[in-house]
Chains A and B, each alone.
Chain A
Amino acid sequence: MSAYIDQFPAEAKVIRSAFYTSFIALALGAAFGLIQTLHRTDIVRVIPSEMYYTVLTAHGVLLVVTFTIFFLVAIFTWAVTTSLDRGVEDIRFTWSWYVLMSLGTLFAAVAILAGFTDRTEMSADVLFTFYAPLQAHPIFYIGLVLFVIGTWLAGADWFRSWWAWKQENPDERIPLPTFMVLTTMIMWYLATLGVATSIIVFLIPWSLGLIDTVNPTLTRTLFWFWGHPVVYFWLMPAYMMWYVMLPKFSGGRLFSDPLARVVFVLFLLLSTPVGIHHQYLDPGIAEGFKFIAMTNTMFLLLPSLLTAFTVVASMEHGARQRGGEGYFGWLGALPWRDPVFAGMALAGLMFAAGGFSGMINAGMNINYLVHNSLWVPGHFHLTVGTAVALTFMAVSYHFIPQVTGRRLASKQIALFQVVLWFIGMTFMSNAMHRGGLLGMPRRTAEPEYDFPFETAIGTVGELNAQIALGGVLLTLSTVLFVANMLITALNDPADDLPSNTIPEPLSGSEDAPLVLDNLKLWTAIAVVLVIFAYSLPLGSIVERGGLFGPGGDAFPMFIEFVEGTVFGLTGDSVSSLVNSPLEWLRAMR
């Protein structure tokens, strides 16, 4: 019985580094977040409005790429080593992917932050979606590629551990945490094919001037091919924490191991063939493809809805073991004063709300109401910005002592911090949702126009005040978190750390059908589903606009160049095919 650092001192060091990198990104991201909230609500404007987009690019990239994914690789390394009870195969390899990811981040960050100074023409004010023909400096794209390659190698590292373990334990089930890591990584390999193709084949050559034009719809579609599954890449480590850690902190056990496996398999299968739901309002994509993406997306709700049940049931098990009674009374028996538990439970609660606004986003025609309005940041600050971020912060209070061997600086402040995040996000996100319904646009430095936004209840001023207040509370909460982590890292060593264990589920892996562990089968099905979902839309986009687009110029956000050439291929054969069912139904009326 010992803490993680005693079991795996070398791995603990890599994990620690990844945690620290992610915390730096979080701190910087929060600072930019504060500037944004105060700027767009016109409370304090410390930067010129053109610079808002440099800030927003940095906020997006640092938080949803650097913060989340560095945290993920730390947690996944912990999960694989702990659940297989073996160290990594070669620690130098482990360091190499960490270094590659850091280098990638550094490249991208330099390109983005250069946008703040006029001394260099370099910049990358393209936001984290980098839609062409907006163009960033080549090192922005190169940085992203290095980062992604780093994550590929990290995945290889975990697969390698599993293969080595399997040689020694040929008849055992894949331990649940490792199973979660492997399925998530298979999804990631599949998903990153989209963005990697977009960047390597089109955007890098284009930003270097080797090709003149790109097809904006094609690069955008390839982006979203990755852009939806990436949200599950953020979410899966949080889910893993809810499945394997939350029961432990609730004083109970995971309700069902088999269902947890089913859920991760469903995510592997369904996360990727849905990305077109981000393009419901794009021209150049047939309505039929949008409809297919919509139904797939709706079925992707299933694993999350199942998770809600399993996770809450595991908490209830803990509460009942702790003496909880009644239909709802058991909630009071949960360890709400423990910041790790409270943070995760509040994150889960916010995810229930974020899940609802996500259902609206998924609803194809209702997208006319909310698309690109402030509703959307309202939604994802509940999901990635709280369900994921707050879970990560909460579990850090457990993991940082585990990987440093040091005592948590302050548990009281930790508890205050997670509650403060919850309150701040309630203000900010609620007001963002409401503002979005009025038609307030997202990604806008000065959402002040010649015409008014019509409010049914309340005023625009009141919404702005809530957004700004929420943003300030969130920033404060981040400061408390980072300070607590910093002091912990420098704190005295603790010799009474809890041991690094994962309790057995109530219904264990022996109840899970063997087929669930057949990763080859699930990979094959996932590939087939992606081919079904994407070959026709991609084919039609290329048929219409050509591989390199129907002409147009680059809009370098760093330097003006390139004249456009014309490619003129159009076609609508496939799209008329996929549209026919809806057209037929309409005609039936």
Chain B
Amino acid sequence: MNIHSYEKVWLIAAMLLIVGFIATITYGSVALGITMVDDSEETIDPNALEEHERFGDLGVHQTDSDEYDVHVRAYQFNFEPGSSALGTHDPIVIPQGSEVTFYVTSPDVIHSFSLVGTNVNTMVVPGEISTMTAEFDEAREYGVVCNEYCGSGHHGMEGLVKVVPEDEFHLFSVADVDAPESIEAGEETELTATIDNDALQTEAATVTLEIGDEQFDTDVEVDAEASAEATFTVDTSDLDLEDADDLDWTVTVEADSPATLEDGSTSGTIDLETDEDDEEADDEDDEADDEDDDPNDDDESTGDDE
């Protein structure tokens, strides 16, 4: 078999090219530390995600000072958390300068979880858990798309990752609010909010109460993985009540910082007793006490859906 000498030259060049490609990729793997999504996680029953230690507790979790785990469920046709465009779920919020590990799985069909304009991109296969660790050094937002066809609503499957400056990032949530069901108009009253801090360090939280058309702020220190109480004393005679029969209130924590998944607000209504309806109000008092915890259910659902 005679091979022309020019073709031999090309054969050598082609082999060099191939070896060069393999060398570049190995360099990326070894020297730059770029790892592939792999089989490091055990399989999971797609019909029982809630029973899984990670997917029973979706959202952002701090694991070390600058390290976070994010547990995401990709399902037809949303990411939870992530899909915030239509208010279906909260966006994923993580602090700048952190190392984040995403754990993603699917209860239904194959999806993808892909941060647009980055090299964070994985298939999400039911029964398997995709894990990816990446560092987020820039405070900005990243769009998330599903780039694997997953059914007729596939094109609507999107989400958002917000990387916020470290001092704006918190893992606070409002665990409970103790508020009266009814008060006499013009009386003074007290509301107490219990604030949880899931972060691994002590942090100061600004808790805000909106009541009627007034707003009150108070600062509390919350220890790592603990809770603290914030108490508001409100003199209803200072509020512009006009002829209202009830008073709406809302408690938020770090209202101005982008909400983390656990960040909650909770709200309720206080009946205002005036002279005319004094008697009726007395009758309702007992029932009202039982419903005291109602607002907190709202809050729970923000954090621990499913």
Could you list which residues of chain A lie within 8 angstroms of chain B, going by C-beta atoms?
49-50, 52-53, 56, 125, 127, 131, 133-134, 215-217, 220, 255-256, 258-259, 279-287, 290-291, 294-295, 298-299, 301-302, 305-306, 309-310, 313, 359, 362-366, 368-369, 371-373, 438-439, 441-447, 449-454, 507, 511-513, 540, 544-545, 549-553, 555, 557, 564, 566, 568-570, 572, 575, 579, 582, 585-586, 588-589
Asked if B131 and A283 make an inter-chain contact with CB atoms under 8 angstroms apart, the answer reads yes
Instruction: Tell me, rounded to whole Å, the shortest Cβ–Cβ distance linking A273 to chain B.
Output: 16
Are A568 and B154 touching (Cβ within 8 A)? no
Is the beta-carbon distance between A256 and B3 smaller than 8 angstroms? Answer: yes
- Does A283 lie within 8 Å of B130, measured CB to CB? yes
Given known pairs A365-B25, A551-B127, the reply for A285 and B39 (CB within 8 Å) is yes
Q: Are B18 and A453 in touch, CB under 8 angstroms? A: no
Contact of A443 among B33, B148, B152 (CB under 8 A): B148
Check B143 against A545 for contact (C-beta < 8 Å).
no
State whether B37 touches A294 (Cβ < 8 A). no
The answer to whether B45 and A365 have CB atoms under 8 Å apart is no
In the complex, which residues 257-281 of chain B have their Cβ closer than 8 Å to any Cβ of chain A?
none
Given A439-B116, A550-B43, A287:B151 Cβ within 8 A: no
The residue that A371 contacts in the complex, of B22, B43, B121, with Cβ under 8 A, is B121
| A284 B43 Cβ-Cβ under 8 A | yes
Residues of A within 8 A of B123 (CB): 279, 281-283
B131 to chain A: which residues have CB within 8 Å?
A: 283
Residues of B within 8 A of A446 (CB): 155-156
B96 touches A (CB below 8 Å):
no
Contact across chains for B149 and A133 when beta carbons are under 8 A apart = no
- Knowing A365-B36, A368-B119, A441-B114 touch, does A555 contact B22 (C-beta < 8 A)? no
Complex Cα spacing A21 to B34, Å: 47
Min Cβ gap A235→B in Å is 18
Interface contact A217-B125, CB-CB below 8 Å = yes
* Complex CA–CA separation, A134 to B107 (angstroms): 13
Chain B residues contacting A449 (CB-CB under 8 Å) are 85, 116, 143, 145, 158
| B1, closest chain A residue (CB) | A258
The 10 closest A-B pairs by CB, nearest first: A451-B143, A441-B147, A439-B116, A50-B152, A552-B46, A368-B119, A550-B127, A372-B147, A283-B128, A284-B128
Q: Assess whether B7 is in contact with A364, with CB atoms less than 8 Å apart.
A: no
Contact of B149 among A127, A438, A564 (CB under 8 A): A127
The residue in chain A whose Cβ has the minimal distance to the Cβ of B146 is A441
Contact partners of A372 in chain B: CB under 8 A: 112, 114, 121, 147-148
User: Which one of B8-16, B163-171, B179-187, B225-233 is at the interface?
Assistant: B8-16
Q: A450-B160, A550-B45, A552-B127 are in contact. Are A134 and B25 (CB under 8 A)?
A: no
Q: What's the least CB distance linking A126 to chain B, in Å?
A: 8
Q: Which residues of A contact B120 (CB under 8 A)?
A: 368
Min distance, Cβ B118 to any Cβ of chain A, angstroms: 8
Q: How far is the CB of B138 from chain A (nearest CB, A)?
A: 12
How many Å lie between the Cα of A441 and that of B150 in the bound state?
13
Q: State which of B3, B42, B150 has its C-beta within 8 Å of the C-beta of A259.
A: B3
Kindly report which residue of chain B lies nearest to residue A588, judged by CB atoms. Answer: B30
Q: What are 16 pairs between A and B in contact, CB < 8 Å?
A: A281-B123, A283-B125, A299-B18, A306-B7, A306-B14, A363-B25, A368-B119, A443-B149, A453-B116, A550-B44, A550-B46, A552-B46, A552-B47, A552-B108, A568-B43, A579-B38
Known: A134-B150, A217-B128, A305-B14. 12 other contacts (CB 8 A): A134-B149, A281-B37, A283-B38, A302-B15, A306-B7, A306-B11, A364-B25, A443-B149, A451-B142, A451-B158, A453-B117, A545-B43
Q: Which of A282, A283, A305, A439 contacts B117 (CB 8 A)?
A: A439
Q: Mark B26-42, 1 if CB is under 8 A from A, else 0.
A: 10111101111111111
Q: In the complex, what residues of A have CB within 8 A of residue B6's CB?
A: 309, 313
- The answer on a CB contact under 8 Å between A287 and B7 is no
Q: Which of B7, B15, B18, B126 contacts A216 (CB 8 A)?
A: B126
Is the pair B46, A540 in contact by a Cβ cutoff of 8 Å?
no
Smallest CB-CB separation from A455: which chain B residue? B117
Identify the closest chain B residue to A300 (Cβ): B18
Q: How distant is A453 from chain B, measured CB to nearest CB, in Å?
A: 7
Q: How many whole Å from A59's CB to the nearest CB in chain B?
A: 13
A301 / chain B contacts, CB cutoff of 8 Å: 14, 17-18, 21
B191 at the interface (CB under 8 A from A): no
